[in-house]
Amino acid sequence: MISTIFYMPKPQLKLLFRYGLVLLILFSLKDSIISQQTVCDHVVKGKVLDQVSTEPLPFATVSILESGQGVITDINGDFIIEKVCLEEFHLVIQFLGYRTVEHHHDFHHGDPIIYLAPEETLLDGVVIEGSRIEAFKSLAIQKLEVNKESLLSNSVGDLTESISGISILKTGSNISKPIVHGLHSNRVLVMNNGLRHAYQVWGEGHAPEIDPSHIDEIKVVKGAGTVKYGPEALGGVILYNSKKPQLDQKLKGSLGTSYQSNGRAYSGQVNLKQGSHRFAWNAGGFGIKQADLKSPNYNLSNTGKREYGGSFNTLFHLPKIDLQVSGSFLGQELGILRGSLVGNLQDLQNAIDRSEPNPTFDPTYEIQNPKHKTQHGLLRTNLSVYLGDHIFKLQYGVQRNIRKEFDVRRGELNERPVIDLELTSHNFELEWVQPTIEKWNGNSGFQWFSHDSANKPGSNPINFVPDYNVSNIGAYTIQSLKLDESTIELGVRFDFQNLSVADTIRDVTIYSNKVNFANATFTLGYRKNLSEELSVFANVGTAWRPPNVSELYSFGYHFSRIQFGLWRYNLEPQISTPLNQVFDETDRKVPSEKSLKLVSGIEINNEKINAEFIIHVNRINDYIYLRPFGVTTNVAGTFPYFIFSQTNAFFIGSDWDFRYHHSETWTSEAKISYVYARETENNQSFIEIPPLNINYNLEFSKGPWVAGMDLNYMAQQWNAPMVIEPISFQNGGVEVNPDEIFDFTDAPNAYFLVGGNLSYTYKSLRIGLRAKNLLNTTYRNYTDRLRYFSDAPGRNFILTFGVDF
């Protein structure tokens, strides 16, 4: 593992970039031309199932339209057609009493699983193709299929939480971002349809702005995913994927709508899709409007929200070429609890001591300050070229993210955001999937991305973060070797990143800086199938991330804390924070954070049980955190202040996920996750590490009826840092011991939540009723940054209605 700050002049960088690209292309083409030849040795395998019961369908006819070759499925619904000459063709699947399905297939795609719809329903058959490019098998990847209507009542962040090992860091009820194994923000990489989601990731109160209407599945890579996905994946990678448009498909669509009792939120969503022989598309849009939420005992004033978004996906298919163009847009206006506004520590103490937040108004749809307004737009093109057994993928994406944060300020300043940032980013990626030779396969790639963030003028004279530019180039290769029941995987990656910043402080000081970071990362994995039902896996890998702009340059008061970035304070001869001076790497070296993560687990899959147990260990060097340092007085009173500092950290934890099919109608699922985190230099606890979480879900499914019950126990975080009450600073006499991490209150008590759901499907209509916090339990969440100020929302009934057409 190499990690250092070094300098490389820009022209050299460009040269490296160009040569690398040219070499890669030349090398790849040479190889592919040799292997290009047509032979009649293709094989197509698949499975045919009943769409309603998901039982296998034996004796269904599967034939190739172009050649007339055909077979009949066996007792398990499986079929295999051998000696196929064509590279692409149409499969026709027929069975008496079911609608016939015609499916466009080519060999670059995985084996199809065909769901036939009974004629008496209004459903159409569905074909799901596996992917020929298998992801890492040893990384512990968990997947969540998303039901369209569930998105209408959940944010993307909240949905992700139902995967074991994932918690969410909240700023009230409307802002949530995922925590993977105790890490979040810059330490978790969010991929939106294969693109690194570009947003102001440094902010704990900034959730990824992802349009939920196009999300079809959520995957979490719990192991070290850096090699494939790039820097920042210290905790893991979360992938939000949408459905690829399907060829040869009639125009179809779905409508969904929902109403929630808590917050009187209503929402609507529409999705359309169509495919011809060479072209397919899908598109969707959604909107939600929510009034102030309610906790069991009081209104949560100013917690309304508005969200609207849309997306489209197009696919042009030619023999050997797939071209996908897609785009999405999301606009948000998110209210933040009014009672969370505090000026000094006396105010904070008052807020903590109050039985209900002050002020509390009657609920309204209106959103006042404080609030966040964000917009995110994305445009992406993706070209896949199949040359013989090689696959080349070229991806380019552009994203624009606008963020405005409004606070309660004096007079006309209320109209002006305190944070007003525009971020434009570009991603370019080239991937080569090499042909499988014997037992060996792999893929390699080159990635470049750049972020350009600018403060819009007129918001505040002192920008919370400077204008910044990040550009990163990386190249990787992952190779995998399959030996009988074992798979060994090895990956290596090199990254080079340049950060450049510029800003003016109070019209007085102009500063700028350019810093380079370079890192090599690796991953090594092993998976063995001990039997058909049981497999074990282990993966060890490194990850890294450079310090972010907030950690380097923030200065002053922010969210009840006075904090100073790594290049805004000086420790010699004693601590000072010069107002109009900015330091750089010659004054204080700030190495990248580097982690070494081990994930190991057991997977059991049989007729009765689907289970996965994993253990994860993560050691992070040069971990950047806010270190309490002292007490200072300013115009609003006495405050403790914090400096960004580096230390070493250690995380260990376990995720248990156990699904048991009692019978055809009854299924149970239990999930447990726990993570223990430690700052190792002074051996103390960090704040906001998710506590032990136990989840149990019982589901009943018969015919058109599905009913379920959710039980959730969240323990108190017993591994929380010491507590210093805010009032004791105000009264004086409390010394802050540098190095002693503290919190202003105890971690909230353990709580137990009950939820339930009931749904009924009639032909193409779906009606669902869901209850959250059914017992109207009063609780606070340790990973909610507003836990000092208010209880979490109370009981909520959600009615959803969906129809396919």
Partner 1 sequence: MKYTNTLLYFMMFCLLGFMTSCDDNDDPEEMEEEITRIEMTFTPDNGEEVVTATWFDADGEGSGAPTIDAIDLEEGITYTLDIVLTNTLGQTDEDITSEIKEEDDEHMFFFGFTDGYFSDPTGDGNLDNRNDPVNYNDQDSNGEPLGLSTTWTAGAHSETLGEFNLVLKHQPDLKTGSSDVTVGGTDVDITFPLQIEEGHGEEEVINEIILTFTPTGGGDAITATWFDSDGEGVANPTIEDINLASNTEYEMSISLANTLGMEVEDITEEIREEDDEHIFFFEFTSDIFSNPSGDGNIDNRQDPLVYNDQDANGNPVGLLTNWTTGGASSGNFRLVLKHQPDLKTDTSDATVGGTDVDITLPINIQ
| 39/508 with CB nearer partner 1 | 508
Encode 663-719 in three state secondary structure.
CCCEEEEEEEEEEEEEECCCCECCCCCCCCEEEEEEEEEECCEEEEEEEEEECCCCC
Burial class (CB in 10 A: 0-12, 13-18, 19+), 274: middle
Q: Determine the Cα–Cα distance for residues 461 and 473; give it in Å rounded to an integer.
A: 33
- Tell me how far, at minimum, the Cβ of 345 lies from partner 1, in Å: 9
End-to-end CA distance of the chain: 55
In contact, 184 and 204? CB cutoff 8 Å? yes
| 343 lies in the binding site for partner 1 (CB under 8 A) | yes
Build a one-symbol-per-residue string for 619-638: x at contacts with partner 1 by CB under 8 A, - elsewhere: -----------x-xxxxxx-
- Tell me how far, at minimum, the Cβ of 564 lies from partner 1, in Å: 8
| 145/507 with CB nearer partner 1 | 507
- Tell me how far, at minimum, the Cβ of 539 lies from partner 1, in Å: 44
Closest C-alpha among 285, 283, 301, 284 to residue 293: 301
In contact, 260 and 798? CB cutoff 8 Å? yes
In contact, 71 and 80? CB cutoff 8 Å? yes
| 81/562 with CB nearer partner 1 | 562
Q: Determine the Cα–Cα distance for residues 259 and 149; give it in Å rounded to an integer.
A: 11
- Tell me how far, at minimum, the Cβ of 462 lies from partner 1, in Å: 6
In the range 282-341, which residues lie near partner 1 by CB under 8 A?
341
| 30/506 with CB nearer partner 1 | 506
- Rule CB under 8 A: choose which of 97, 130, 319, 461 binds partner 1: 461
| 576 lies in the binding site for partner 1 (CB under 8 A) | yes
Q: For the chain, what is the radius of gyration of the CA atoms?
A: 27
| 410 lies in the binding site for partner 1 (CB under 8 A) | yes
Q: Determine the Cα–Cα distance for residues 314 and 88; give it in Å rounded to an integer.
A: 20
In the three-class reduction of DSSP (H, G, I as helix; E, B as strand; rest coil), residue 196 is classed as: strand
In the three-class reduction of DSSP (H, G, I as helix; E, B as strand; rest coil), residue 206 is classed as: coil
Q: Determine the Cα–Cα distance for residues 170 and 184; give it in Å rounded to an integer.
A: 11
| 368/665 with CB nearer partner 1 | 368
User: Could you tell me how many residues of this chain bind partner 1 (CB under 8 A)?
Assistant: 48
Encode 124-138 in three state secondary structure.
CCEEEECCCCCCCCC
In contact, 676 and 651? CB cutoff 8 Å? yes
In contact, 126 and 804? CB cutoff 8 Å? no
In contact, 525 and 137? CB cutoff 8 Å? yes
Among the residue ranges 235-243, 329-337, 553-561, 680-688, the one whose residues contact partner 1 (CB under 8 A): 553-561
- Alpha helical stretches, state H, 707-766: 726-730
| 358/516 with CB nearer partner 1 | 358
Closest C-alpha among 211, 187, 208 to residue 197: 208
- Tell me how far, at minimum, the Cβ of 508 lies from partner 1, in Å: 6
- Tell me how far, at minimum, the Cβ of 168 lies from partner 1, in Å: 27
- Tell me how far, at minimum, the Cβ of 687 lies from partner 1, in Å: 21
| DSSP state string for 134-167 | ---SSS-EEEEEPPHHHHHSS-HHHHHTTSTTEE
Task: Find how far residue 99's CA is from the centre of its chain.
Answer: 37
Among the residue ranges 118-126, 492-500, 568-576, 679-687, the one whose residues contact partner 1 (CB under 8 A): 568-576
Q: What is the number of H-type helices and E-type strands within the chain?
A: 7, 44
In contact, 207 and 177? CB cutoff 8 Å? yes
| 469/610 with CB nearer partner 1 | 469
| 359/703 with CB nearer partner 1 | 359
In the range 437-456, which residues lie near partner 1 by CB under 8 A?
456
- Tell me how far, at minimum, the Cβ of 506 lies from partner 1, in Å: 4
| 96/508 with CB nearer partner 1 | 508
Strand residue runs (E) in 458-592: 467-483, 486-505, 509-529, 534-545, 555-558, 561-564
| 2 lies in the binding site for partner 1 (CB under 8 A) | no
| 554 lies in the binding site for partner 1 (CB under 8 A) | no
**Residue carrying the six token digits 């790497």:** 585
Q: Is the CA virtual torsion 230, 232, 237, 241 positive or negative?
A: negative
| Beta-bridge mates of residue 191 | 196, 239
| 481/631 with CB nearer partner 1 | 631
- Tell me how far, at minimum, the Cβ of 735 lies from partner 1, in Å: 14
- Rule CB under 8 A: choose which of 198, 220, 562, 741 binds partner 1: 562
| 87/407 with CB nearer partner 1 | 407
| 573 lies in the binding site for partner 1 (CB under 8 A) | no
Build a one-symbol-per-residue string for 729-758: x at contacts with partner 1 by CB under 8 A, - elsewhere: -x----------------------------
- Tell me how far, at minimum, the Cβ of 21 lies from partner 1, in Å: 34
- Rule CB under 8 A: choose which of 9, 68, 411, 733 binds partner 1: 411
| 30/410 with CB nearer partner 1 | 410
| 165/565 with CB nearer partner 1 | 565
| 358 lies in the binding site for partner 1 (CB under 8 A) | yes
| 319/343 with CB nearer partner 1 | 343
In contact, 178 and 163? CB cutoff 8 Å? no
| 583 lies in the binding site for partner 1 (CB under 8 A) | no
- Tell me how far, at minimum, the Cβ of 237 lies from partner 1, in Å: 37
| 98/564 with CB nearer partner 1 | 564
- Tell me how far, at minimum, the Cβ of 581 lies from partner 1, in Å: 10
| 388 lies in the binding site for partner 1 (CB under 8 A) | no
Helix (H) or strand (E) holding 347: helix 345-353
| 96 lies in the binding site for partner 1 (CB under 8 A) | no
- Tell me how far, at minimum, the Cβ of 406 lies from partner 1, in Å: 13
Among the residue ranges 31-39, 290-298, 504-512, 767-775, the one whose residues contact partner 1 (CB under 8 A): 504-512
In 114-145, which positions are buried (b, 16+ CB within 10 angstroms) versus exposed (e)? Answer: bbbbeeeeebbbbbebeeeeeebbbbbbbebe
| 75 lies in the binding site for partner 1 (CB under 8 A) | no
At residue 459, what is the residue type?
Answer: S
- Tell me how far, at minimum, the Cβ of 638 lies from partner 1, in Å: 8
In the three-class reduction of DSSP (H, G, I as helix; E, B as strand; rest coil), residue 351 is classed as: helix
| 75/635 with CB nearer partner 1 | 635
In the range 413-432, which residues lie near partner 1 by CB under 8 A?
413, 415-416
- Rule CB under 8 A: choose which of 1, 2, 462, 520 binds partner 1: 462
The residues that touch partner 1, with contacts defined as CB under 8 A, are 341-344, 346-347, 350, 358-359, 408-413, 415-416, 456-462, 504, 506-508, 555-557, 562, 564, 569, 575-579, 630, 632-637, 641, 730
